[in-house]
Structure 1
């Protein structure tokens, strides 16, 4: 059975999401899948991506650490290897080229991929996009709030925040960054409008903390750098909601997080489910199946 490589020229192009989603759809169609993250030169998400790949139930036995391209095993039996790589692999049976935005026709023609997936494309560009580029079919994935969502761990890293409550440990992703309103009476109706959110609120506003928790946030980000009421610890722990403590005030915390949606890592069930919805109706997986004869 074949080896499918998912490649791109630049980091943060979206190949992790495409690789995982194609692998998931193939697995759900009855194929045995081994999902691998190739080694990466320099700083990047290869280690974290491989760890996530290794945890995915639809690809049991996948390596949880990056693998050098020259030692990626040849598929055997009825297994398909889906490999996320930074460079083309000559011995791959087919490849998907992933780009953030529309790639150049010349580059696509040089690689000769099975298909091109253009990720994070503005809607007005997507509407005018061609069906093919550089001789390969083009599959466009428009800008999407869920796919751009940030994880609790990414917010913590940017803020250098302290974890006050671990929560359920799932490292959920957040589609929205919401500042709690001044009053708790308005807080719950307002916050309930947002799904999958991180709520920013001052450390000493216990009534707002409890109002936010009632709306099932992905996490709370407290500002002001001081310990909140014990009521919050009890309530957040009971609900499994992680709580972070930022060292700065609310204004500077929000300023620090302004660009967090611009470059987030693809992981988690929410993003995987959303990408599967998008690609599932695009015809990309069917193209892969037809080309690989599986």
Structure 2
């Protein structure tokens, strides 16, 4: 059975999401999948991506650490290897080229991929996008709030925040970054408008903490660097909501997080489900199946 490579020229182009989604759809169609993240030169998310691949139930036995391209095993039996790589692999049976935005026709023609996936494309560009580029069919994935969402762990890293409550884990993703309003009475109706949100609120505003928790946030980010009321620990733990503590005030915490949506990792069930919805009706997986004969 075949080896499918998912490649891009630049980091953060979206190939992790495309690789995982194609692998999942193939697995759900009855194929046996081994998902692998190739080694990457320099700083990047290869280690974290591989760890996530290794945890995915639809691809049991997938490597949880990056693998050198030259030692990626040849598929055997009824297995399909889906490999996320930084460079084209000559021995791949087919490849998907992923770009953030529309790639150049010359580059696509040079690679000769089975298909091109253009990710994070503005709506007005997507409407005018061609069906093919550089001789390969083009699949456009428009800008999407869920796909751009940040994880609690990414917010923690940017802020160098302390974890006060682990909750259901720090890999939950947030589509919105919301500052709690001044009054708790207004807080709950206002915050309820946002799904999958991180709420930023000062450490000593216990009434606002409780109002925010009632709207089921993905996490609370407390500001001011001081310990909140003990009551918050019990309430957040009971709801499974992670709580972070930022060392700075609310204004500077929000400033530090301003660019968090610009370069987020693809991981987590919500992003995978959303990408599956988008690609599921695109015809990309069907093209892969036809090309690989599986």
Q: TM-score range by the shorter chain?
A: over 0.9
Contact persistence 2:224–2:247 (CA under 8 A): yes
Deviations 1:97-136 (CA, angstroms, capped at 9, x unpaired): 0000000000000000000000000000000000000000
Deviations 1:183-226 (CA, angstroms, capped at 9, x unpaired): 00011111111100000000000000000001110000000111
Computed over aligned residues only, the root mean square deviation of the Cα atoms, in angstroms, reads 0.5
CA distance in 2: counterparts of 1:171 and 1:147, whole angstroms: 14
SS in 2 for 1:113: coil
CA distance in 1: counterparts of 2:230 and 2:140, whole angstroms: 48
Please list every run of at least 4 consecutive aligned residues from structure 1 whose deviation after the TM superposition is greater than 4 angstroms: none
Please list, as runs of the form range in 1=range in 2, the aligned pairs for 1:125-164 lying within 5 A after superposition. 125-164=125-164
Q: Which residue of 2 aligns with 1:98?
A: 98
CA distance in 1: counterparts of 2:189 and 2:27, whole angstroms: 41
Q: Deviation of residue 20 (structure 1)?
A: 0.1
* 5+ long unaligned stretches in structure 1: none
Q: Deviation of residue 48 (structure 1)?
A: 0.1
Deviations 1:224-271 (CA, angstroms, capped at 9, x unpaired): 111000010110011111000001110110000000000000000000
Q: Which residue of 1 aligns with 2:277?
A: 277
Contact persistence 2:199–2:217 (CA under 8 A): yes
How many residue pairs get matched?
A: 294
Please list, as runs of the form range in 1=range in 2, the aligned pairs for 1:1-294 lying within 5 A after superposition. 1-169=1-169, 171-294=171-294
CA distance in 1: counterparts of 2:171 and 2:78, whole angstroms: 34
Contact persistence 2:15–2:84 (CA under 8 A): yes
Contact persistence 2:14–2:98 (CA under 8 A): yes
Deviations 1:30-53 (CA, angstroms, capped at 9, x unpaired): 000000000000000000000000
Deviations 1:81-107 (CA, angstroms, capped at 9, x unpaired): 000000000000000000000000000
Q: Deviation of residue 170 (structure 1)?
A: 5.2
Q: Deviation of residue 164 (structure 1)?
A: 0.6
Q: Deviation of residue 177 (structure 1)?
A: 0.2
CA distance in 2: counterparts of 1:168 and 1:255, whole angstroms: 26
* 5+ long unaligned stretches in structure 2: none
SS in 2 for 1:137: strand
CA distance in 1: counterparts of 2:251 and 2:155, whole angstroms: 15
